[in-house]
Each structure stands twice: as structure tokens, then as C-alpha cells.
Structure 1
Amino acid sequence: MIDISKLLSQLLYNPNDPVLFNSAFFIYFFAFFLLCYQLVSGSKTGRVWVFTLFSLYFFYKACNYYVGLVILSAIVDYNLSHWIHRSTSASKKKALLVFSILINIGMLFYFKYTDFFIGIVNDIGMGHFRPLHLLLPIGISFYTFENLSYTIDVYRGEFEPIEDFMDYLFFLSFFPKLMMGPIVRAADFIPQIYKPYHLDATDVGKGMALIISGLFKKVVISDFIYLNFVQYIFDDPTKHTGFECLMGVYGYALVIYCDFSGYSDMAIGIARWTGFKIPANFDSPYQSASITEFWRRWHISLSSWLRDYIYIPLGGNRKGTVRQYINLALTMLIGGFWHGASWNFIFWGGMHGSALAVDKVRLTWLKATGGIQRAGLSKVYRLLGILFTFHFVCFCWIFFKATTFEAAWTLIRQIVYNFQPDVWLEFYQGYAQVVWLMLLGYFLHFLPVRSEDWFERSLSRVPVWAGVLIMVSFIWLLAQVKTLQPMIPIYFQF
């Protein structure tokens, strides 16, 4: 007999059991959603309402009454965009845009950075204020940037405001990307709403490939390596040799990539099954031969957003070389601060900004001397570039992951002064499964793009019943290897 009270409790918000793509609850949620979505697939209005209601419920299940912030921000920016578009006064347009920016950034600042600045004020002796300890609404950094890009595009005349409010709320609350991105532009998403719903074999195959690869990266590789190895290293580096700490850094580089890109893949795959194409958010970033290339491959939706709405408005490369380097540094500092209210994140962003500026100097010199052609043809040069870029990124990840500067420098000191490479056999014997999973993860990461295309084409050719069987079998397999302790995605906190 069904326990109604227990069933209802499963449907209500539970702070100890957030809804995740790899949770059992989401499987039932998504199956019921697909059923309802198919029933109204022939109606644009029906699709929008069903998707929006399910998205808002999904967000409620993840963060309770903070779902109201999504609705409120949609109301504000929907109306502001129309006022900006209708206004004939340039000064009024600008004032409305500034108001939109202040509202959106103000809301993000209040929830995410208030305690950080209270701490600064207290530390410099200007007051003794109590931190507010506000709960950070999940996904606020992502949908805030989507709101900003929408109103800015309307102000620039690059996009006309949406007529139907429900269409805008649908865009903003679209549950596959609501909580962890990718950051989607209205200009890319909104036109797809008005197209007839159509799903072909390519969509099914690509969606299935992305969901399977995303779940594998997140559940099998990222969660296992973090829970069984990486967390111990970063919790107290002094208990481990420098060799183990270095392996922990390599492990974290794989963990954060598989965690975030895995979730992005699942979001894009789910969207593909519902008739929406979202651009890729990652492109094998550790194959990059320079830090500039890395930021073209890592968190592409964020790096392109920072470029279009911060770097270029600051002047980009149009106001001289020195100003270009300053603009790069400022953009990446803001990007670091976007990740969290911590000096570690600001320092992480500053290091990447400085590296981008240095790389611009290198590229300018190569171009001036004609060496860029020779360098581009040199496989050795590219291999060295990949190794250097990867290790620089790993060095930066230490500050990204560590809770304090002292913790980061403690781990670095262990690597430099207490390396002890002779423990490698003991390390392997203690972490054999972790080692093999790390090797598998990096091997898959460095596979050529054509292998991904082959996987997608293969799944596109299977009949529907076989596709269902593959998905059910894969989910069953995940249930067997899934860790008992639920692993909250890293970018949930951003």
C-alpha cells in the first residue's frame, strides 16, 4: 500500500536531499515531465507552460522559496527590457540599463558577497558587524548573468524584447541549465521556442551520448576520485607526502572538469531531447597549448560572457597594449570573484588574468618575428605548451580548492620540500582504483573529437527499444557503482 504522507514528503523541499541529475528522484521527475511534454508537444503555448511549471517546481525542490527570486527577476527584467526598447531618449535608455544592472548585481551581491565585505570591514577595524550567514540561492550567479546579457542586448539594439512574459520566464527558468549553466543567451535560445517541436535520430543519439558521458564523468570518475582520495589530501596536506599531494592536485583537476563538464553535458543532452540546442560548454580544455586556448575551451559560456559584456566594454584591445593587459586582468579578477566571495577566488582569477596578459605578449612577439607559423607546425612545441598550460592550471586549482591561502601554501610546501617519490608503489597499492580511474579519465579526455562523433552516430542508429534498453542498463550500472555519500556538484556553490 502506498504511504501518502511519505510520498508527499518526497515531493517537498528537503535541504538534506537536493534534487540532482544523478538522483533517483530526478529519474521519476524527468520521466513524468517527458510524458506531459509529449502530450502538449504540438502546441507552443502548451510546451512553454509545461516546461516552465516543471522548471519552477524543480527549482523549488532544490532551494525552496528562493524560486521566487527567479520569478521576481524575470518580472523586473522583462519590463525593463520593454521600457528600454520603447524609450526614444538615449539618456533614459542608459538610466534604465544602469537600473537593471544595479538590481541584478545588487541581488547577487546581497546573497553572495555581503558577509565577505562585512568581514573586510571588521578586519580593518571599521566596525563590529555580525555576518548575516545568508543561504546562497542555487544558480543565482548563472541566471543573473543571463538577465544582464538580455537587457544589455536589448539596449544595444541587438535583440528585440520578448512579447510574451511566459516565454521569458521559460527561458530564465529552463531547468536543464538553471542551477549550473551553461549561461545561455536569449538571442540563442528564444528563437527556438517558436519552432515546431521535432526530434530526429540525430537529436536522440546526441542527447543520449551526452547524458551517458555526463553521468559517467560525474558519478563514476569525479565522485569516486574525490570521495576516496582528493578530499583527504586537501583536508590536511601535512598528513601526506609531496608526491601524494601532487597526485591529489592532478586528481582535483580531473574531478572539477568531470564534475562540471559532466553536469553541462547532461544539461545539454536533456535540452536536446526536448528540442533545444544549447552550445557546448567545454571542449577538452586540458588539450590546450596556451592559457588563451584554455579559456576558449573551459566554461565557454562564462568566458564568452566575460569577453562580450566586460572585456570589450572596458576597451578590449582597442585602446593600446597596456590598456589591453589591464582589461584582461580586470576581467579575470571579476571572473574569479564571480566564483565566490573569497580572496582565494580573486587570487585565482588574478593569476589567470596575468597569464593571459603574458600570453598576449608572447603571441605578439611570435607574430612580429614570424615564429608563430613555425611554432604552429611544431608538434614538440605544442606538446610542451600543453604540459606547461596544464601544470599552470593545476597550480591555480590549488588556490581555487583550498579554503584559505595558508592551506594552499601548505600543500605547495609539501610538494616542494617533502616530495618523497619513493612512496609511489605504496601509493599505488593504497589507491589502485583511484589511479586507474584517473588514467581512464585523462585517456578519455585526450581522445580525438572523432571518437565522440562516432559514439553519437552509433547511438543515433539504434532503434528506440534498444536506446531505452541502453539507458536503463546504464542507469542500473551506475546504481551499482554510485557512492553511498551523495556528492554535491562543485559549481552548485557558485
Structure 2
Amino acid sequence: MNRIKDIFTFTEDFPLIFTQANFWIFFGVIYLIFAFVYKRIRIRNVYLFLISLFFYYKTSGMFIGLLIFSTIVDYFIGKGIYRSDDPLRRKVLVTLSVIVNLSTLCYFKYAYFFTDSFNYLFQTDYEVVNWLAQWSNSFTTVNYFTVDKIILPVGISFFTFQTISYSVDIYRNKVKPLNSILDFGFYVSFFPQLVAGPIVRAENFVPQIDAPTRITRDDFNRGSFMILKGLIKKMIFADFIAMHFLDRVFDTPDMYSGFTNVMAMIGYSLQIYGDFSGYTDIAIGLALLMGYKLPTNFNSPYKAENCGNFWKRWHISLSTWLRDYLYIPLGGNREGTRASYIILGVILLGVMIAFGNIWTYILIPSLVGVAVLGARFSPTVKNHINTNINLMLTMLIGGLWHGASWKFVIWGGLNGLGIVVYKFWRKVSPWENKTGMLVHAWKILVTFIFITFTRIYFRGESMEQISMLYNQIWNNFDWAGAGTVLSAYSSVFWVMLVGYITHWLPQSTKDGLQGLYGRSPMPVKVGAVAVVGVLCYQAFSSDFQPFIYFQF
């Protein structure tokens, strides 16, 4: 009875997530009921919508009201855009959708970020007050919401981008609006991908809403294989190395040698990949078991030969969203607009504030000055600036999407700089067109090192902690103690080695393993499930290990 109570009541410390036994009991029950209703499309859609709302309640409690608000607003705005023939009215409505959604996102995610930046810049001491919580609590006798701080609702960045794309796609005449608000709610809240993606486009998912459910043997095999793969990635390649090594080092980097910090950074690249791609693998697998297809979100990103190729392989649904709804509207690679320059100027000012040292105050204005002079006197320089400014801006904003801190903007900017530098390097590189194995491996290694070392801005809790880590690497590397570190954490490093080897296996080998699983008889599949279950149980910790991207 206690287990049933845990499943059907909200507990902030223990939300319903894929790595808990409670979730699989929950999914088993709803899947059994789904087997009885899936042939009746309307009942199926309403059923999955209600289940999805309950799932979000289990992860975010009363913030379910925010999800319902977003659903109602964009459903009626989408209807209004589609029914109107007036270009101005259509533009006003789609702008309203963007403003309402981004304002909601900014209130919950960036209130502290903007307030702290304002206080630093103008030497004020304003504090954040949760006016929305106060207003909401005034309608009830029970104070459901905390008023002294703003809590970030789980998955708000994902479903906000999803509803924006719906309104914009209707405005662009790429999709027609759904006739039922319940169907639209189902699209917005489909529980496998609701809280951490992948971000689903309306043009890809809406046609599936009215289609009959067809679950082929291949779908079932691929879905169950993806779930098993995702659990291994999350619970072994992510959680195990984090609990037994990474968290200790990153909590106090100055207590460990530079070599240990470097190994932790390499481990973190595996952790965040295993954590996030593990979630999306499970989400895609769950959806397939119910007859729905979600987009691929990862494509072996550490096989990338350059930074640009990495971002075509990592978090693909976000990268393509930013390309289609930000980069191209700002002018793409054709021109830099006035909006591009204004936004970039604000972000660069913020980066100067974040670093807060004399070298930044000198370097950034100097680079801007050189760029302005070069553009004024050289059409070639001006063309290069206009070609790359929107790319840099997209990466900077993409960094800010990941977290409300200037360190995330810096992280995004470094990745954007990596893409821009490579665009020029490939024009002069003597190895660009060579295809030998060593050249291929060298390109992958350089890209991996770059991505890994920039991620410290992603993982570090503060600029001070990031500075400590870099200081240990440069001033206290301690090669002599490397053997002791490798021995002390040997189980962790073996797991890391296996994780990277499996990642770098040829795609044909991975497809072969999936095919072998699909062709195997049911007892073998059950055995595979049992083996994965035992492995994950051995790596399991009683401490709650949320998915990293829940915070976004």
C-alpha cells in the first residue's frame, strides 16, 4: 500500500522518473489500460493526455497549472492565426504567443539572473519576489506556492519551445491547428518527452495524433532495446561515475590534483552524454511501445570531427529549433540585422560583468573596435562579420537556454567561437580533405578535448570554482600521483573506458547488436532485461539522482 501511495501522491524529493521502480509499476499499469483503449483514437488521446498531466503533477506538483495555462493560450492563438487572412493580425497573434511564452519562461527561469545582473551593474540590492505565488495563494486557504523564492518548474524550457514552434508553424502555413484542445494538450504534454525532450515539432507529431495506433514487432523490439540502452547509459555510465568520483572532485576541485581534475572533466563528458541521451533513448523507446515516433536527439556526438559537426549530433532537437526559429529569422548567414547587433552587444556587456576583471574590460571592447573598423574599411571583413554574427548569437542564446548564469553564456560563446574558427581553419588546413584513419582520429580527439574543456563552464557551480579547477591543472598537475589516482578509482575508470569504447563503436556494429536483439527469441529478450536490471541495481544508489536536464 505504501508503494501505491508513493506512486499516486506528489513528493518533491522523489518525483516519478525513469530510473525508479515506481515509474515502471506506473507504466505497467497505464500500458495495460492502453491495450484496451488504443483502437479508439479519441479515447486513446484523452487517456494519454490525462496520464501525461498526472505524470507532470508527479514531477512538479501544482506547477501543472503552468502547463495547462501554456496549453490553453497557444491552442486559441493557433486557432486565431489560422482563421485570419489579415497579415497584420496574424503577425500580432504569433508575436503574442512568443511574448507570453518567453515572458513566462523568463519569470521562472531568469528572474534571479536579471535581478543579480541589474544589481551588479547599477550597485542596487533589489530582491526577487514571487508575485505570482502571492497572487495564486490569495485564492486558497492553503499556501501551495512558496513566496520567498521562485522555483523553476521541471521541463519548462522544453514545453515552452514546443508551444512556440506550434504557433510559428501555423503562421508559416506549415501545419493546421488541431481541432480539439485535448488533442493539443496531448501534443504539448506527451509524458515520455515532456520534462527533458526531445523537443517535438508540431509538423512531426500532429499527424500521429489522428492516426490509428500501429505497433509493429520492429517497433516493440526497437522500443524495448532503446529503453534498456537508456537505462545502462543513465544508471551506469552517468550515475555510477558521478556518485563514486565526479561529484567529489567537482565539489572541492582544489583538494585534488590537476590530473584528477582532468580525469573528472573527461568523466563528466561521459556523464552528461549518458544522462541526457539515456533519458531520450528511454523516451523514444516508451513512445514506440505506444505507437508514436519521436525524433532522434543524439547521433554519437563524440565522433564529431569539428565543433559544428558536434552540434549537429548533440541535442539535435534543440540545435535545429534554434536554427529554424532564431538563426534564420535573424538573417542566417546572409546578413547581420539591427536586432542581431543590439542583442550581441547586451550579451557581451553581460560577459564583461561576469568576468569582472580588467583584462575582459580591455579585450572585448578592443575586439569590437577592431571589428567595427575592419567592417568600415573592408567589404570582405564586413561580409565575414555579417556571416558569423548570427551564428555566434545563436550559440550565446543557446548557452543561456541551458542555465540562468553568465557562465552558460560563456560556454555557448566558446562553442560558437569553435565553430567560427573551424570555418576559417578548414580553408587553409592541409589535412582538411585527407581521410586516413589517423587524421580522422586526430580530428575527433581535438574536437573532444575542446568540448570537454569548455564544459567546465557548464558543470562548475561558480566562476571561483572554475578558476580553482583550471589553477589545479596548470599549477598542480602531479603526474607522479597519477598511478595512485587510477588505482584508487579503478572501477570508475573501467566503467568510463567501457562507456567510451561503446560510444565509438562503428554504427554498423551498434545496428547489428540491435538487430540481434530483435531477432532473438522472447526468453533471450527476458534474459537481457534481467541482466540489465541486475547491472542497474548494482549501480543504484539510495540517493536521488535526477536527470541533469531536468533543471533546464
Normalising by structure 1, we get a TM-score of 0.95
Q: Cα distance, 1:8 vs. partner? A: 3.2
Q: Cα distance, 1:463 vs. partner? A: 4.0
Is the CA contact (8 Å cut-off) linking 1:220 and 1:481 kept in structure 2?
A: yes
Structure 2: how far apart are the matches of 1:196 and 1:467?
Answer: 27
Q: Secondary structure at the match of 2:95?
A: helix
From 236, 243, 251, the counterpart of 1:235: 251
Structure 2: how far apart are the matches of 1:149 and 1:351?
Answer: 27
Structure 2: how far apart are the matches of 1:22 and 1:299?
Answer: 21
Structure 2: how far apart are the matches of 1:446 and 1:469?
Answer: 26
One-letter identity of the residue aligned with 1:229: F
From 422, 434, 437, the counterpart of 2:492: 434
Aligned identity (percent) is 39
Structure 1: how far apart are the matches of 2:321 and 2:425?
Answer: 25
**1:116 equivalenced with 2:113 (yes/no):** yes
One-letter identity of the residue aligned with 1:92: R
One-letter identity of the residue aligned with 1:236: T
Q: Secondary structure at the match of 2:433?
A: helix
**1:88 equivalenced with 2:79 (yes/no):** no
One-letter identity of the residue aligned with 2:402: H
- Partner in structure 2 of residue 398 of structure 1: 456
- Partner in structure 1 of residue 441 of structure 2: 383
**1:51 equivalenced with 2:48 (yes/no):** yes
One-letter identity of the residue aligned with 1:196: P
Q: Secondary structure at the match of 2:154?
A: coil
**1:344 equivalenced with 2:400 (yes/no):** no
One-letter identity of the residue aligned with 2:421: V
Mind listing any 5+ residue stretches in structure 1 that lack a counterpart? none
Q: Which moved more, 1:465-474 or 1:322-331?
A: 465-474
**1:461 equivalenced with 2:519 (yes/no):** yes
From 414, 421, 425, the counterpart of 2:483: 425
One-letter identity of the residue aligned with 2:425: R
Q: Cα distance, 1:50 vs. partner? A: 1.4
Q: Which moved more, 1:332-341 or 1:482-491?
A: 482-491
One-letter identity of the residue aligned with 1:419: F
**1:101 equivalenced with 2:101 (yes/no):** no
- Partner in structure 1 of residue 342 of structure 2: none
Structure 2: how far apart are the matches of 1:28 and 1:9?
Answer: 11
Cα deviations across residues 272-328 of structure 1 (Å, max 9, x unaligned)?
111111121111111111001100101111111111111111111123432121001
Cα deviations across residues 396-454 of structure 1 (Å, max 9, x unaligned)?
11111001122112101111111111212211221010010010010011011112211
**1:223 equivalenced with 2:247 (yes/no):** no
Structure 2: how far apart are the matches of 1:51 and 1:88?
Answer: 34
**1:478 equivalenced with 2:494 (yes/no):** no
One-letter identity of the residue aligned with 1:362: W
Is the CA contact (8 Å cut-off) linking 1:208 and 1:459 kept in structure 2?
A: no
Q: Secondary structure at the match of 1:124?
A: helix
Q: Which moved more, 1:139-148 or 1:476-485?
A: 476-485
- Partner in structure 1 of residue 15 of structure 2: 18
Cα deviations across residues 122-162 of structure 1 (Å, max 9, x unaligned)?
22335322234211000000000001111111111111111
Structure 2: how far apart are the matches of 1:390 and 1:252?
Answer: 12
Q: Cα distance, 1:78 vs. partner? A: 0.8
Structure 2: how far apart are the matches of 1:310 and 1:125?
Answer: 30
Q: Secondary structure at the match of 1:26?
A: helix
Structure 2: how far apart are the matches of 1:9 and 1:217?
Answer: 26
From 30, 35, 39, the counterpart of 2:32: 35
Is the CA contact (8 Å cut-off) linking 1:221 and 1:437 kept in structure 2?
A: yes
Moved over 3 A (4+): 6-10, 363-366, 462-470
- Partner in structure 2 of residue 142 of structure 1: 158
From 280, 283, 304, the counterpart of 2:320: 304
Structure 2: how far apart are the matches of 1:126 and 1:90?
Answer: 45
One-letter identity of the residue aligned with 1:428: L
Mind listing any 5+ residue stretches in structure 2 that lack a counterpart? 130-148, 336-382
- Partner in structure 2 of residue 269 of structure 1: 285
From 488, 504, 514, the counterpart of 1:446: 504
One-letter identity of the residue aligned with 2:28: A
- Partner in structure 1 of residue 393 of structure 2: 330
Is the CA contact (8 Å cut-off) linking 1:36 and 1:50 kept in structure 2?
A: no
One-letter identity of the residue aligned with 2:63: Y
- Partner in structure 1 of residue 547 of structure 2: 489
Cα deviations across residues 237-278 of structure 1 (Å, max 9, x unaligned)?
111111111001001111101010111100011111111111
Structure 2: how far apart are the matches of 1:71 and 1:457?
Answer: 41
Q: Cα distance, 1:470 vs. partner? A: 3.5
**1:411 equivalenced with 2:427 (yes/no):** no
Is the CA contact (8 Å cut-off) linking 2:7 and 2:23 kept in structure 1?
A: no
Cα deviations across residues 26-65 of structure 1 (Å, max 9, x unaligned)?
0111001110111101111121011111111010000101
What is the root-mean-square deviation in Å for CA atoms of aligned residues?
Answer: 1.6
Structure 1: how far apart are the matches of 2:63 and 2:57?
Answer: 7
Q: Cα distance, 1:459 vs. partner? A: 2.2
Normalising by structure 2, we get a TM-score of 0.85
Question: How many pairs does the alignment contain?
Answer: 486
Structure 1: how far apart are the matches of 2:476 and 2:524?
Answer: 53
Structure 2: how far apart are the matches of 1:359 and 1:122?
Answer: 37
Structure 2: how far apart are the matches of 1:376 and 1:25?
Answer: 52
Is the CA contact (8 Å cut-off) linking 1:285 and 1:294 kept in structure 2?
A: yes
Identify if the C-alpha distance between structure 1 residues 7 and 154 changes in structure 2 by more than 3 Å, giving closer, same or farther. Answer: same
**1:256 equivalenced with 2:272 (yes/no):** yes
Structure 1: how far apart are the matches of 2:231 and 2:326?
Answer: 33
Is the CA contact (8 Å cut-off) linking 2:227 and 2:281 kept in structure 1?
A: yes
- Partner in structure 1 of residue 260 of structure 2: 244
**1:279 equivalenced with 2:279 (yes/no):** no
